[in-house]
Structure formats: C-alpha cells, structure tokens
Amino acid sequence: MSRYLKRRAATYLLVLAVALSLNFLLPRSIPGNPIEELSSGLGNLPVLVDPKTLQALQSYYGLDKPLLQQFWSYLEGLTRGDLGYSISYRAPVSQVLVNRFPWTLLLTVSSLLLSFSAALLLGSRWAGSQVGEWRVLLPAVLLESVPSFVLGSLLLILLGVKLPLFPLSGAYSTLSEATGLLRLLDVIHHAAMPVLVLSTSSFFSAYLVVRSSVLLVKHEPYVLMAKIKGLPEKTIRYHYVLRTALLPVVTFFGLRLAYSAGGAILVEVVFSYPGVGRLIYEAVMSHDYALLQGAFLIFTGWVVLINFATDCLYFSLDPRVKEV
Amino acid sequence: MVRRSLAVILTILLGCSLSACNKVEESSSAAEVRTAQIQSKELHLPGGDWGLPTPFTFYPRGPGYIHLSFIYDTLVWKDEKGIIPWLAASWECSPDGLSWTFQLRSGVRWQDGKPLTADDVCFTFSYLKQHPVEWFDLEGISAVEATDNHTVTFYLKKPYAPFLNQVAGNVPIIPRHVWQNVADPRGTSNVECMVGTGPYRLIRYDKAQGAYAYQANTNFFLGAPQIEKIFFVPVGDTVAALERGVIDEGNIPASLLHRFKDRRDFLIASGPSYWVLTLRFNCDQQPFSEKAVRQAIACAIDRKALIEQAVPGGLEGAKPGSPGFLPPDSSWHDSTVQHLYPHDLTRARLLLQSMGVEDRNGDRICETADGSLMQFTLITTPQYLREAEALQLMLRRIGFALQPKAMDVRSLDALVREGRFDLALAGHGGLGADPSAIMGFGGMTKRGQSFGVPVDFTYLELSEQLLTSSDRSQRMELCRTMQHIYADQLPTLPLYYPIWFSAHRAETLQGWFYTAEGGIGIGIPLPYNKLLFIRGNLP
C-alpha cells in the first residue's frame, strides 16, 4: 500500500472514532428520552405510565446510569459486536439493521447503477449535440422536477391499481413459499417500481456530470488526432472520450453510493418498503438511542468505506494521484 | 424499428410473467381470490410491525395490543354493547370496593393442551409486577389470591371504579408453565412462549415487512373461530390496496369516503373515534391565565365551520367540540355544556374588554393595558395546519394575531409538557375509556402532565371521588359537575371529534363493529375485535 493510501486510511480511522462519539452524544442531546416517549400524552391512544414502571424500565435499559458509564458499556458492547437493544423495536439493534439494510442497498444500488448506466450511454452519445440532446434533456428535466413521492404515487396508481402489473407494497410476497429463481423474480418484481422511481430521480444529475465531463474531453487534441486518423466514431466515443471523462463520474457515483445508505425515505414510505431510511426516521421520532447509534455507525462505516474505495479506484484510474 | 418493437414486446412479456409469479398475495384476478377466501375463510388486513405478540414484546400502542389479543385472553372482554364474560364466567365486587372475585370458566385450555387454572391468573399478576410493562397499570393491586382452582380474588389498595375495564379486561393471562423459567421476558424472541388461550395462534411473523399470519385455534373455549386464517400484509396506501383486492378491510379517511359509498362490493362501518382535536392554552402565561380570555377565544371560534374547513368537502360525521371535554358519543357526556360558547364575536369582544384587552391604536390587533400585543405562536403538527390557518383567520376578527408553526408531534408534546408555548393545536384519543381516566388526566400526580385540567381544588377532589365511587348514578352526577367546571375553566378547548370509517369487502365478512365503552381493551377504537372473527358473519 502506498503512503498516499496509508495516509487516507489513517484519516478515515480518525473520522470513524469522532463519529463514534458523536453518534453516542447527539441522540442524547434531543430533549426527552426513549422511556419518556413510552408515556406520551398525544397520539391515537395516550399511554400514561406510572413513575414506578418508568423507573423500572430506565433501570432495565441501563439509562439510569451516568453518561460516561453508558458510553463505556456502549464501547464494550461494540468490541463484542453488540450494538445494543432497540427499545422501540424490542429486538437487538444488529438484528433490526440486518433485516432492513440489505433492502435499502438493493433499491439504492440498483437504481444508481441503472441511472448511471443510462447517463453514461446517453451522455457519451448526445453530449453537445445541437438537436439530439433535447430528446434526453427535456424528459429528464421534466421527471427530475417531479418529487419522487409524487412520481411513486402516480406509478402506484397506474401500474399497481389501474394496470395491476406490479405489487403495491413490500419487498417480497410474505405469504409466498417460493424459493430459488421464483423467489428472486418475486423480489425483482417488488423492487421494480421503487427502483424505477429512484433511478428516474437520480438520472438527470448523473447525466449532467457525464455531459460536462464528456464535453471537456471531446475537444482535447488527442481526440482530434484520433478523428484525423480516421478511427471509427464508436471507438473514439468509448475508448478515447468516455474513459478519460470517467474520473468525475466515478467520484460522483461514489458520493451518491455513500449517501445511498441513508435510504430513500419517501419512496420507502410510498411503497411500504422495509428499508432503513424509514427505520431511522422512526428511531429519531421515538428517541431510540441504541438504534440510532447502531444505524449511524453503519452509515459512517459505509461512507468511509465507499470513500476509501473511491480513493483506491482513483489511484488506479489516474496515475497522477500516485505522485501526490 | 424492429429491434425497438421487440424490446417493447419483451418488456411487456416480462412484466406479465413477473405478475403471474406472485399469485399468492397479489393476483390480478380478484374474483378468483375472493372465491378462494370465502371457501377457505381467510381474511387479509393491513399490516405493519407491532412487535412479537407477547405481553412483554408487543409495541405499546393500539394495534400491538390487537395482535396480542388474538393469542391471549383476558378475564372479561367487550362486544358492541359492553363488558361480557370471557375467561371469567362471573365476577363480583365487595361492597367496600376493595376486592373483586372472579369465577373462571371451566374447561378452558392453553393452546398446548394444558388446563387454565386460577394459579395461572395469580402468576400473571405477580410476574407482571416483577417485570412491569408500560401498558398494564397494576399499581392499585395489593394482592391476588386463588381460593380454589377456579376462583381468584383481587385485593385493592383503595376502591378503583374502572377495574373491569382497565385491569380485568386489559391484562392478558399467561401460563405459569411457560413463563416461570423465563428470566428476561422483554428480551425473549422465542415463539414457543406464545401459548395463550386465545382464538388464534401465530404461524408467521415477518418483522421487516410487518406481516403476520394467524391460524384458528380449533380448541378455543367458545369453539373453533369461523375465520380460519388472518393475514396482516404490508400496505403502503390503504385505499389502493382495497381497490386492488390486496386487503379485505381498511381504515379510510373521511375525505375519500365518496370512493366507497354506493358501491355494491364494499360496505362502510363507522364508529366514534373517541379522539379530539384541542386548542390548548398556556394557562401559566398572560393573557391565557385569565379565564375570560379563554372563554372569549371559545366564543370567537366557529367550531362547525372548522369541521367544514378541516378537509376539502368537510370532515364527514365529525362533531363540534364540547367545552366540557367529553365527546357526545360518550355515555358520560353532559349535553347541557355543549352550547355554552356559541359562535358570538360580540360576546368575545366584551369578555376581552372586561379584561382590559382591546385594540387601542386602531391596528386591528388588541393590546393589554400595559401595551402587550396579542400576537402569539400557535404550535401544531403538519396535518393540522389547515385547521391552524382557519383558527388564525377566526381569531384575527377579535384582534388576536396567530402565527402557526408546524413541528413533529414529539417536539410539540415536549414543549407543552415543559410549558414553552402560547397556544397548541393537537389531538389525542382515548376519550372512550372510563371518565375517571379522562377527566382526571393530570389531576393525579402519577398521570401525564400534558393534559390540561382545571387548576381547581374542587375539580381534583371530584376526580378522586370519580375514581373510587362504584355507584353509576353517583358517578354520572360527579361527571356532570366536573364537565361544568371544565367548561367554565376551559384549560383546553375541544374543537371537534371525528368519526372513524372502515371499508370492507361485502363478500368476505360482514358484521364489522366498533367495540363499546371506548373500544377494545383500555379503549382502542379499531374494528378488529376478535369476537368478529370468532363469529365470522360470512355473507
């Protein structure tokens, strides 16, 4: 590993340590605590808990201990791979996250791959074209300006109710006993509409990045030379222009991928998809410290990991980085 | 061109084949599914994760308790008319109100075949004392004793009028032989612990998707339930799921009621929500600490107009708020307080003038004698912004300038609890429970602080009497007096009580009802009373 990568790795470890402390402190800075939340005066049916029971519950979840002691227990738990116990979900945090995280990744990663592939394909073909580009830009701008939950609801009515081609909600058929290929098809079938909505909403920004990058490279002297040499249009487009233009696209993809762990709350809500975005929202609302800590830790780890992977990719894509 | 057409055809074919592979949950042929359901007596209801249905792991909210009630039984239960015998065949209260004796039904068996005994009832209460659950309030019980195998007596620290509703009809009885060796019931995820006497067994629980599958308990003490399987499936949009046939019943908002009315395939059931939207005053702060100012605001608000403006087309069936707090649907409601504050701007202005609040500089905003402007923030949640804006316009007419501010319900609750607000617009349910539980909110120290109650010694004394008195006519009189005090003091102004609507497929199951006395258990106003599925009024 080069000095550059070692330095990056050390920086990311430091970021992880700071994030770990912030993840512990920030949820506790919100007014109230998860036990108080159990006794709410508002809602459809107010549950008013007597102080003795509240005290017993504080003690059961270790929330009556001093903050430093709680932090120490949290760190101790982490060394054993124990992320704590979710008060609102009545289950170990790791179990709750393991149940939700893969579904979010499935949605966000496949929608990013879809939108970036389309952006690369169309961007390299139409960038700078006087007439043809509008065929891409106009619908992309129109779709980008529609909020994802509106688009999701429209698709739900059109392809879910009027033309019942796709399921309305969930990540798979809960009552189905299907296994193997049928199960896989079932999962793809359920993910189709949410992925379509998410990729539509991320296509335009991806297209713009590809477009501007391609336009910069397109007029480089070596591209002109390739044209003069009479190389085929496709070879110039994909081997000469796109390859060089990929660098900012990879960075942008990395960034989008890193933030994708946060899920797509609105789309998850519209399609009742069991992703992590909605889970985090509910955890914030119920002040579920353990779940927030665990989820944010996974997010931080994911962001750091993707950033590090992007750095490594840069390292191999652009030889100039080796000299830094 | 040919390639493009081929791609379109392939896409359509793929879509169709994917649809076909998912026949169990979402068959496009609704008729086939309906026929199958009637034959196999299955029911599909909107799901959502409400925890593993044991008394220690369910999420302490209404739907969580509904799931629990399918597996576990309580000593008494409620139908559409009132309290009925359930695990207990009969019961009696001692004349001093300090003990309750229940005679258990004979021949009741746990789902694993072992018989239910009075010892299981005693064990339930002692185990719940050791491992408290926020949903069950057992503070008032001093001892539970089994006199014989079928008789159990509860001894109370002081008389507790809502005992049947809040304890006997709420606490699920658990088997000693299953739970006695479980040291940490909150941490358990063992499905073998889910042995009840109830009409259903849980056969599948999918936490991530919020899906449940229940199978009828054929050895249930009232006979095998008519509905053999109940599925709670994930649903994003209830109305879309109803239309598509994914679910057989769903709660629908009043604004979408027209879509299901006059349709042969759907029936509508409606019931009181026992829910209220209130305007809360910060009574510790000027000018709302003055009773006359609160009364003036009550006169300035047209509560009927508010109902018409709440949603486009009006909030169908909703009733205007009663200044005495209890809703007209409650049997404890005193109708004489309902019209104490009719919409009357002249009276409102006179009341304000009596407190020295009037527009002194002609800017159409009132001031007090010391020059304080009547400008306030009205905090609310995003779903009641429409009502907040209507209130802003109504109070502008008496010279009060309100600035609505939306926030999440938890933050609003915290601000109200800490007294950091001027006016708050928020709602809550539970109004169908025993009146002592409603009128006494905040009156007793152990209760929540965010419910406004009159700061009045007589009122607090009456609420204590209401809690301990077991004579219904005496309680009715106490309740009436309390409603008059409430209406006079107006710590909060009830604005309206909506109605709940449930649409269900006519050919699947009929006879849906909303449970009496506020709803299931301690007052859950949902139509999923297990009695309906046991009876199974098939068309």
CB–CB contact A44 B429 (8 Å) = yes
Q: What is the pLDDT of residues B8-52, one digit of tens each?
A: 444 444 444 444 444 333 333 344 444 444 445 889 999 988 989
* pLDDT for the residue A23: 86
- Backbone dihedral angles phi then psi of residue B178, each to the nearest 5 degrees: -95, -45
Higher pLDDT: B169 or B506? It is B169
Tell me the residue length of chain A: 324
CA distance B176 to chain A (A): 22
Best residue in A36, A40, A44, A291 for a mutation probing chain B (most B CBs within 10 Å) = A44
Residues 6+ apart with CB under 8 A from B299: B341, B342, B343, B344, B345, B347, B348, B351
CB–CB contact B134 A160 (8 Å) = no
Query: Nearest CA to B124 among B87, B96, B82?
Result: B87
Q: What is the complex's ipTM, to 2 decimals?
A: 0.77
Q: Which range (A89-93, A276-280, B91-95, B290-294) has the least confidence? A: A276-280
Query: Nearest CA to B124 among B170, B65, B191, B59?
Result: B170
For residues B516-526, average pLDDT: 87
The Cα–Cα gap between B448 and A54 comes to 12
Q: Chain A within 8 Å of B66 (Cβ-Cβ)?
A: no
Confidence of residue B428 (pLDDT cuts 50, 70, 90): confident
CA distance A258 to chain B (A): 23
Measured from the Cβ of residue A12, the count of other Cβ atoms closer than 10 Å reads 18
Q: Chain A within 8 Å of B183 (Cβ-Cβ)?
A: no
CB–CB contact A42 B207 (8 Å) = no
- Output DSSP code: residue B147: E
Q: Chain A within 8 Å of B157 (Cβ-Cβ)?
A: no
Best residue in B45, B49, B139, B202 for a mutation probing chain A (most A CBs within 10 Å) = B49
Confidence of residue B427 (pLDDT cuts 50, 70, 90): confident
CB–CB contact A41 B22 (8 Å) = no
Partners of B450 on chain A (C-beta within 8 Å) are 41-42
Taking phi over 0 as left and psi of -120 to 50 as alpha, with beta for the rest, A263 belongs to left
Partners of B42 on chain A (C-beta within 8 Å) are none
Supply the DSSP string of A272-286, one letter for each residue: T---HHHHHHHHHHT
Q: pTM for this structure? A: 0.82
pLDDT averaged over 10-residue windows placed end to end, chain A, 324 residues: 76 86 84 68 60 82 87 88 86 89 89 91 79 76 83 88 86 81 91 91 86 86 88 85 84 80 76 85 82 87 83 73 60
Q: Chain A within 8 Å of B416 (Cβ-Cβ)?
A: yes
* pLDDT for the residue B354: 93
CA distance B272 to chain A (A): 13
Hey, what's the torsion of the CAs at B441, B443, B449, B452, to 10 degrees?
Answer: 70
* pLDDT for the residue B21: 41
Counting one residue from chain A and one from chain B, the pairs whose CB atoms sit within 8 A come to 195
> Is it the case that residue B436 has pLDDT exceeding 70?
yes
Measured from the Cβ of residue A294, the count of other Cβ atoms closer than 10 Å reads 26
Query: Nearest CA to B272 among B93, B2, B103, B517?
Result: B517
By CB atoms closer than 10 A (0-12, 13-18, 19+), residue A229 is exposed
* pLDDT for the residue B322: 94
CB–CB contact A60 B211 (8 Å) = no
* DSSP β-ladder status, B83-85 and B76-78: antiparallel
CB–CB contact A91 B132 (8 Å) = no
Name the token pair of B368.
Answer: 């007090």
The Cα–Cα gap between B87 and B105 comes to 6
Q: Give the closest of A56, A157, A176 to B240, CB-based.
A: A157
The Cα–Cα gap between B18 and A176 comes to 14
- Backbone dihedral angles phi then psi of residue A78, each to the nearest 5 degrees: -60, -35
Q: Chain A within 8 Å of B448 (Cβ-Cβ)?
A: yes
The Cα–Cα gap between B229 and B64 comes to 18
CB–CB contact B275 A44 (8 Å) = yes
Residues 6+ apart with CB under 8 A from A25: none
- Rg, C-alpha atoms of chain B: 26
Q: Chain A within 8 Å of B315 (Cβ-Cβ)?
A: no
Query: Nearest CA to A61 among A29, A26, A36?
Result: A36
User: Mean pLDDT in chain B?
Assistant: 86
The Cα–Cα gap between B409 and B311 comes to 20
Partners of A88 on chain B (C-beta within 8 Å) are 59
* pLDDT for the residue A35: 76
CB–CB contact B132 A271 (8 Å) = no
Supply the DSSP string of A66-134, one letter for each residue: -HHHHHHHHHHHHHTT---EETTTTEEHHHHHHHHHHHHHHHHHHHHHHHHHHHHHHHHHHTT-TTTHH
Identity of residue B50: W
* Interior angle at CA A264, CA A133 and CA A144, nearest 5: 20
Closest-CA residue in chain B for A90? B57
Q: Chain A within 8 Å of B123 (Cβ-Cβ)?
A: no
Q: Chain A within 8 Å of B60 (Cβ-Cβ)?
A: yes
* pLDDT for the residue A162: 85
Measured from the Cβ of residue B266, the count of other Cβ atoms closer than 10 Å reads 18
Best residue in A174, A286, A291 for a mutation probing chain B (most B CBs within 10 Å) = A174
Q: What is the pLDDT of residues B465-480, one digit of tens each?
A: 888 888 889 999 999 9
Residues 6+ apart with CB under 8 A from A111: A194, A195, A196, A198, A199, A202
**Chain B stretch 248-307, residues whose beta carbon is closer than 8 A to a beta carbon of chain A:** 275
The Cα–Cα gap between B532 and B514 comes to 10
CB–CB contact A171 B209 (8 Å) = yes
Partners of B453 on chain A (C-beta within 8 Å) are none
Partners of B231 on chain A (C-beta within 8 Å) are 174-175
Hey, what's the torsion of the CAs at B413, B417, B418, B423, to 10 degrees?
Answer: 70
**Chain B stretch 190-249, residues whose beta carbon is closer than 8 A to a beta carbon of chain A:** 204, 206-211, 213, 231, 233-237, 240-241, 243-244, 246
Best residue in B11, B12, B16, B22 for a mutation probing chain A (most A CBs within 10 Å) = B22
